[in-house]
Amino acid sequence: MMIYDRIDETIGRTPLLRLDYLETDAALLAKAEYFNPGSSVKDRIAKAMIEGALARGEIDSETIIIEPTSGNTGIGLALICAVWGLRLILTMPESMSLERRKLLTHLGAELLLTPAKEGMQGAIDEAKRLAASFDKAWIPNQFANPDNP
């Protein structure tokens, strides 16, 4: 049994499951990403994006990380930021579930809710506006980030 000192060390160490009960000529394996601490493959990209930015000197411990999100990327970022002591502000539509919002705040993320009628575009616009208001802010931009394979 593996024993880890920090939750971020478990990210990506998910098991492969043999799917031999499926009738096929090929050996099928499934990577069980739901075994990540945030129950999603998005934990991997959150860790990779922040590690990459730190390694390149784009961010440091004083940088405020700001990301528009409606889901699992926000959870992954909140996990990493909590463990690594980084400040995280997430923008999201106010229509996101109360459960998701509670989880994110329990993980230490600050939430800025945007009008539901504006959808994700409203959250994206607010993240950009907010980032411009700080001296040291960084938007991971999950959809265009080179560390998100």
| E strand map for 24-86 | 29-31, 64-68
The position carrying tokens 């502000």 is: 89
Identity at 72, one-letter amino acid code = N
Give the chain's length.
Answer: 149
CA torsion angle for 64, 89, 68, 140 (degrees, to 10)? 30
Which of 31, 42, 102, 117 does the annotation list as catalytic?
42
Active site residue 42: yes
Identity at 35, one-letter amino acid code = F
Give the chain's end-to-end CA distance (angstroms, integer): 29
Q: How far is CA 136 from CA 26, 124, 125, 131, in A?
A: 51, 18, 18, 8
Q: Which residues are catalytic?
A: 42
